[in-house]
Amino acid sequence: SEVTDDALHDLMYNFSLKHCQEGDIVFTPGSETKTLYFVMDGIVEIFAEFEGHPFVIEHLHRGSIINYRNWFIDEHNMVSARF
């Protein structure tokens, strides 16, 4: 289905800037997806726990959008993200 004009308007005019420090956790598995994140600077690490240790899935850089799939289909996070 298509995104409505009202939804696009809400996206464009309801952004807020959040500054994160290195090591800050953005979200964890099972957390609700209520926020889209746009990486403006720095690197975000997407990872999962494997046998008690973090397993890095990917590194996201400036211009990346985080949580967009889960946000649109209203699913909970399956992985963790940190700066």
Eight-class DSSP state of 53: E
* pLDDT tier, 1 (very low <50, low <70, confident <90, very high otherwise): low
Give the Cα separation of 69 and 64 in Å (integer).
13
Say whether pLDDT at 83 is over 70.
Answer: yes
φ, ψ of residue 10 to 5 degrees: the values are -60, -45
Give the Cα separation of 54 and 46 in Å (integer).
10
Give the Cα separation of 38 and 65 in Å (integer).
5
pLDDT tens string 41-51: 999 999 999 89
pLDDT score of 62: 93
pLDDT tens string 13-56: 777 788 889 999 988 888 887 778 889 899 999 999 989 999 99
